[in-house]
């Protein structure tokens, strides 16, 4: 499978390149960065600390999509929307790990999925996606007698909050309870907030250091707490999941897929 990487000079972009090159059945087909990025014109694989491949970083995503079977995208919401439209035009598979997309932006992905395969996951880690499933099941079993709080921590450079994974965990908990997350979500607390409302799903966000990603879902009842936690010690787990997803999508019909589909949950 010929796989390209948009945003190839970023931390996740480089990890995705490393994973593609070292995974059987894959080959790196190219990489792009935004106009003016100093990485443009440099060797794609050398940029990721590997042996040079002779493939140079470009600023032409349209050409990249035309040359690839699949493209991996861990960029920014506006860029991902543009890439989804390119994927629909070229019939190229798009693997999206970008977080912070709005409902309207997610709708663009869904529209593109009518013409090609779009894989979209707020977190590519196999362990985190197991956590999604466990969170939904725990919420079903424990019910409103247990207050739900989602706690996440990421490195100081992360720009969106709560993280896409935290919101995904909130949606899993809400699904387990049979409610709409938007109707019960509480994103911040400051000052005299009053007593906690029954049924609310709360979020707390921490930022600092180089934390790759820590997530916990806390079910707090009277006399006991149940805590489900995942801690990523390396971003490599996200690249591994993205390449695994790319290989899985090779035989799929156009549609919008997630890691839950890959894992059979």
pLDDT digits (tens, 9 = 90+) for 13-35: 999 999 999 999 999 999 999 99
Contact 96, 89 (CB under 8 A): no
**Angle subtended by helix axes 236-249 and 11-22, to nearest 10:** 60
Known catalytic membership, residue 192: no
- Domain coordinates in residue numbering, the chain: 2-120+235-263, 126-232
**Angle subtended by helix axes 126-142 and 164-177, to nearest 10:** 30
Contact 208, 55 (CB under 8 A): no
User: CA–CA separation, 54 vs 60, rounded Å?
Assistant: 17
- pLDDT tens for 84-142 read 999 999 999 999 999 889 999 999 999 999 999 999 997 899 899 999 999 999 999 99
Superfamily classification of domain 2-120+235-263: NAD(P)-binding Rossmann-like Domain (3.40.50.720)
Contact 57, 8 (CB under 8 A): yes
User: CA–CA separation, 40 vs 26, rounded Å?
Assistant: 23
Q: How far is CA 183 from the centre of its chain?
A: 23
What average pLDDT does this structure show over 238-262?
95
Question: Catalytic: which of 154, 155, 175, 192?
Answer: 154
Q: How confident is the model at residue 265 (pLDDT cuts 50, 70, 90)?
A: confident
Question: What average pLDDT does the chain have?
Answer: 95
44 contact partners, CB below 8 Å, separation of at least 6: 5, 8, 17, 28, 30, 31, 53, 55, 56, 57
Q: How confident is the model at residue 235 (pLDDT cuts 50, 70, 90)?
A: confident
3-state secondary structure of 128: helix
Question: Catalytic: which of 2, 42, 158, 175?
Answer: 158
Tokens of 190: 């400051």
Known catalytic membership, residue 154: yes
Residue 158's pLDDT is: 92
User: CA–CA separation, 134 vs 118, rounded Å?
Assistant: 25
User: CA–CA separation, 166 vs 153, rounded Å?
Assistant: 10
Q: pTM here?
A: 0.82
User: Checking DSSP bridges between strand 117-120 and strand 93-96, what pairing results, if any?
Assistant: parallel
Has domain 126-232 been given CATH number 3.30.360.10?
A: yes
């Amino acid at each position: 499978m010929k796989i390209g990487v948009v945003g190839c000079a970023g931390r996740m972009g480089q990890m995705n390149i490393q994973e593609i090159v070292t995974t059987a059945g894959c080959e790196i087909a190219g990489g792009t960065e935004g106009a003016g990025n100093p990485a443009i014109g440099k060797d794609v694989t050398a940029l990721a600390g590997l042996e040079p491949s002779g493939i140079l970083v470009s600023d032409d995503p349209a050409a990249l999509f035309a040359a690839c079977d699949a493209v991996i995208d861990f960029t920014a919401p506006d860029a991902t929307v543009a890439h989804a439209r390119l994927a629909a035009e070229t019939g190229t598979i798009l693997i999206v790990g970008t977080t912070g997309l709005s409902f309207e932006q997610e709708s663009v992905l869904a529209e593109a999925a009518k013409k090609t395969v779009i894989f979209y996951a707020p977190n590519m880690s196999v362990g985190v996606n197991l956590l999604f499933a466990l969170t939904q099941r725990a919420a079903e079993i424990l019910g409103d007698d247990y207050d739900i709080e989602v706690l996440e921590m990421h490195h100081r450079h992360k720009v969106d909050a709560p993280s896409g994974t935290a919101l995904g965990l909130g949606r899993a908990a809400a699904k387990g309870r049979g409610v709409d997350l938007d109707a019960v979500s509480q994103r911040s607390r400051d000052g005299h907030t009053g007593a906690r409302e029954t049924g609310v799903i709360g979020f707390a966000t921490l930022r600092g250091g180089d934390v790759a990603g820590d997530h916990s879902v806390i079910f707090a009842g009277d006399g006991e707490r149940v805590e489900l936690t995942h801690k990523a010690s390396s971003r490599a787990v996200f690249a591994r999941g993205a390449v695994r997803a790319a290989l899985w999508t090779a035989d799929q019909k156009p549609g919008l897929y997630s890691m839950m589909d890959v894992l059979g949950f």
